[in-house]
């Protein structure tokens, strides 16, 4: 009879389900963050390559401008240099657009990465709070059980006490427990 009553008075551990949900959400976000991390690395490499290409085409355009400014060029060489200069301008513009586009993508991915990081911190914080609340709940259950045993509930007959203030102290302890639990419930919401 004691075992059955003890099991009936214990509350089910519903913390487990919420902690499992937090763990699942964390795993999903970490997988997504890993993917974004790889994307950032790839974008970083592409940015460096395109930035190098941009610098090389800028240098080529500058050299062609210097060569074109030479007054002693034949018409055929001047025409060839102008054509090469136009190609250099188009290539420089193309690499400029590419580096700008990659930089924008990097910023978007980095923002998502940071947003996930903040969510992971929040999830870890919530999990820690749930673990703490779970431990406090168990402690309160144990304390309630001990107080019930000491106060002489119907399940546990307590010997009559020669200390008349004991009953008052036990009642005060029960009130304090009830108030503490009420506070925890309010804080939990």
104-144: pLDDT as tens digits: 999 999 999 999 999 999 999 888 988 888 888 888 888 88
Q: For the chain, what's the residue count?
A: 189
Closest CA to 79 of 67, 62, 61, 93: 67
Burial of 188 (0-12, 13-18, 19+ CB in 10 A): exposed
Q: What is the CATH number of the domain that holds 93?
A: 1.10.287
Phi, psi of 72 (to 5 degrees): -90, 20
Domain encompassing residue 10: 2-188
Give helix then strand counts, H and E, for the chain: 4, 0
Closest CA to 37 of 96, 138, 131, 110: 110
| pLDDT reported for residue 32 | 92
| pLDDT reported for residue 16 | 84
DSSP letter (8 states) at residue 10: S
Q: How far is 188 from 185, CA to CA, in rounded Å?
A: 5
Structural domain count of the chain: 1
Contact 130, 22 (CB under 8 A): yes
31-59: pLDDT as tens digits: 999 999 999 999 999 999 999 999 999 99
Structure token pair of residue 43: 């974008």
Q: Give the lowest-confidence range in 1-10, 59-68, 79-88, 113-122.
A: 1-10
Contact 116, 33 (CB under 8 A): yes
């Amino acid at each position: 009879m004691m075992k059955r009553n003890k099991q009936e008075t214990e509350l089910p551990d519903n913390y487990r389900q919420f902690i499992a949900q937090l763990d699942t959400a964390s795993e999903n976000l970490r997988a997504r963050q890993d993917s974004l991390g790889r994307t950032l690395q790839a974008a970083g490499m592409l940015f460096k390559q395109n930035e190098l290409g941009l610098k090389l085409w800028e240098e080529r355009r500058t050299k062609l401008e210097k060569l074109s400014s030479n007054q002693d060029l034949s018409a055929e060489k001047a025409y060839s240099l102008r054509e090469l200069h136009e190609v250099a301008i188009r290539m420089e513009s193309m690499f400029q657009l590419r580096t700008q586009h990659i930089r924008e993508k990097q910023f978007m991915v980095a923002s998502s990465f940071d947003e996930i990081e903040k969510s992971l911190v929040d999830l870890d914080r919530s999990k820690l709070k749930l673990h703490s609340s779970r431990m406090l709940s168990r402690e309160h259950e144990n304390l309630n059980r001990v107080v019930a045993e000491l106060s002489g509930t119907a399940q546990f007959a307590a010997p009559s006490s020669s200390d008349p203030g004991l009953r008052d102290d036990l009642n005060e302890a029960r009130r304090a427990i009830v108030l503490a639990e009420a506070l925890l419930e309010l804080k939990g919401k």
